[in-house]
Structure 1
Amino acid sequence: MLQGALAGLAAGGVYAVVAVCLTLMAQLVKVINFSQAAIGMFGAFIAVTFADAHVPQWLAVMLGILCGVVLSGVIGWIIATWLPEASISARSAVTVASLLLLISMSYILFGTKPKTFRAVFPGPAFEVGGVVVSQVTVVMVVLAVAVAIAAKIVLSKTGVGMSLRAIADRPVAAELMGVPVKPFAIGVWLVTGLIVAVAIAIVAPTQTSDAASLSLLVIPASAAALLGGFRRLDLAVIGGLALGMIQGATAQFPELSLVRDWIPLVLIVVFLLWNQRKEVWDAAR
C-alpha cells in the first residue's frame, strides 16, 4: 500500500501544480480554466512530434513548453479582449470550449493513439522502506510546493503582486489608477501556462499518454483546488498530493482499481454540497 501511495505522488504532484494554477486564475483573473491541462497536453504532443523528427530532446521539450505558453496567452488574450467584464461562468465556458477544441485538434494533428514520451527525469531518486521513489515524484512534489510558495511571496511582497490583487479586487479602480489591467491578466495566463506545460512535460511519461487522459487531469486538480475553495494555495497543494496518494493506494487493490478514477468526481460533489450547506440549512429554517 505504501508503494502505491508513493507511486501516486507523481500524479499528485501534477494535480497540485494544476490546482495551484487554477486557484491563482480564479483569484486573479476570475476564471476557472478547464483547459489548463489540455494546454500542457498539446505542448507535450508538440514536443513528441519534434523529438520524432530527431530534434534533440531538450530542445523538443522547450519548444513544446513554448507552444503551451503561447496557447495559454492566446486564450487569455481572447478573454481579456472580448470578455473583460463577463461573469466567471461566461469566462469559464470559453475554457471548456478551448478544452474540447484542443483535444479535437490533437486528434486531427497527432492521431488518436497514445504517445511515447521520453522521461525528462529518468530513474529512481531514493528508497523509503524498500520502496523506490522516482525522480519524477521528487521533482513534481518540489515543483508543487515551490510554485505555491513563490506565488504567495509574489502576491504578498512585491509591487506586481499588489497590482494583481488590486486588479482582482477592483479592476475598474485599478485601471483608473493606471494599472495595465489587460497586460497583467494576459501575464497571469502566460505564467500559469508555462508552469502547467512544464509539469505535464515532466509527468507525461508516467501517465496514460493519450490526449483525453492528459487533458482530463484538470478534474482531479479541480477537486484539489476545491479543498481550498479556489482561495488557499496551501490546501490546493495538500489536496493534490493527498488525492494522488489515495489513487495510488487504491490501485493496489484489484477490487478498487476500477473506482480510483471516480474519486475526484466524488470529492468534487462532496465539496460542492459542503460549500452549499449553509444556504440549504438557512432555507430549511
Structure 2
Amino acid sequence: MISGALSGLALGGFYATIAVCLTLMAQLIRVVNFAQLALAMFGTYTAVTLADHGMPVFLAVLLGVVVATAASGILGAVLAHWMPEADITHRSAVSIAALLLTLSASFIAFGTKPKNFAPLVHGSAFDFGGTVVTWIAVVMCLLAVAAASAAHLVLRRTNAGVLLRALSERPSTAELLGVPARSLTVVVWLATGVVAAVAVALVAPTQTNDQYSLTMLVVPSAAAALVGAFRSTWLSVAGGIGLGMLQGALAQSNQLSVLKFWIPFAVILVLLLWSQRKEAWDVAR
C-alpha cells in the first residue's frame, strides 16, 4: 500500500496545484472555475498538434500554454465586464458553460481520439524504502507548494495583494475607492490559467489523455479545494496530495481499485454535509 501511495504523488501534486488555483479564484473573484482544466486541456492539445506537425516540443508547449492562458484571460474579461456584481453561483455556472463549450470545441478541432503526449519530465528521482519515486511526482508536488507559497507572498506582502484582498472582502467599497477591479480580475484569471496549463502539460503523459478524462480531473481537484473550504491554499495542497496518495494506494488492490474513482465524490459529499451541520442542528432544535 505504501508503494501505491507513493505512486499517487504525481496525481496528488496535480490535484493540489489545481486546488490552489480554484481556491484563489473562489476567494478573490467569487467563482469556482470548473473550466480551469478544460482551457488547459485545449492548450495542451494545441501543443501536441503543433508538435505532430514538426514544431519543436518545447516551443509547441510554450505556445500551448499561451493559448490556454489567453483563453482563460478572455473568459475572465467577459465575466468581469458582463457580470461584475453577480454572485458566486451565477459566475460558476458560466464557467460550467465554458467547460462544455471548450470540450466541444476540442472535439471539433482535434478529433475524439486520444493524443500521444511526449513526457516533459521522466525518470526516477530516488528510491524510498524500495519504492521508486519519479521525477514527475517530485515536480508536481513542488509545483503545488510553489503555487501556494507564491499566492501567500503576493497576497500578504505586496500592494497588489492588498488590493486583491480588499476586492474579495468588500468589492463594492473597493471599487468606490478606485481599486481597478476588472483589471485585477483578469490578472487572477491569467495567473491561474498559466499554472493550470503548465500542470496539465506536465501530467498529461502519465494519465489517460483523452479530452474528457483530462477535463474531468477538475472534480478531484475541487474535492481537494473543498478540504480547505475554498479558503486555505495550504489545506488544499494537503487535501490534493492526500487524495492522490489514497487513490494510488487503492489502485494496488484488485478488490478496492474501483473505489479510487468514487473517492473524490465521497469527499465532496461528506465535506458539503459537514459544512451544513450547524444549519441542520439549528433546525433539529
Fold match, TM over 0.5?
Answer: yes
Between 227-236 and 126-135, report the one with greater CA deviation.
126-135
How far is the alpha carbon of 1:66 from its aligned partner? Answer: 0.5
Q: Which residue of 2 aligns with 1:205?
A: 205
Q: Which residue of 2 aligns with 1:227?
A: 227
Between 228-237 and 254-263, report the one with greater CA deviation.
254-263
Q: Which residue of 1 aligns with 2:102?
A: 102
Superposed CA deviations along residues 49-90 of structure 1, whole A, max 9, x for unmatched, are: 011011001000101100110010011011001000011110
How far is the alpha carbon of 1:149 from its aligned partner? Answer: 0.9
Q: Which residue of 2 aligns with 1:187?
A: 187
Superposed CA deviations along residues 191-241 of structure 1, whole A, max 9, x for unmatched, are: 000000000100000011011110011100111111110001110000000
**Unmatched tracts of structure 2, length 5 or more:** none
Q: Give the length in aligned residue pairs.
A: 285
**Unmatched tracts of structure 1, length 5 or more:** none
What are the equivalent positions in structure 2 for 1:167-178 lying under 5 Å apart? 167-178=167-178
How far is the alpha carbon of 1:246 from its aligned partner? Answer: 0.3
Superposed CA deviations along residues 172-194 of structure 1, whole A, max 9, x for unmatched, are: 22122221110000000000000
Distance 1:112 1:164 in 2: 40
Q: 1:53 aligned to 2:53?
A: yes
One-letter amino acid matched to 1:202: L
What are the equivalent positions in structure 2 for 1:119-268 lying under 5 Å apart? 119-268=119-268
Distance 2:234 2:217 in 1: 19
One-letter amino acid matched to 2:239: G
Distance 2:16 2:67 in 1: 22
Q: Secondary structure at the match of 2:256?
A: helix
Q: Which residue of 2 aligns with 1:113?
A: 113
Distance 2:66 2:13 in 1: 21
How high is the TM-score relative to the length of structure 2? 0.99
The alignment's C-alpha RMSD in Å is: 0.7
How far is the alpha carbon of 1:39 from its aligned partner? Answer: 1.3
Q: Secondary structure at the match of 2:17?
A: helix
How far is the alpha carbon of 1:108 from its aligned partner? Answer: 1.0
How far is the alpha carbon of 1:11 from its aligned partner? Answer: 0.5
How high is the TM-score relative to the length of structure 1? 0.99
Q: Secondary structure at the match of 1:10?
A: helix
Q: 1:21 aligned to 2:26?
A: no
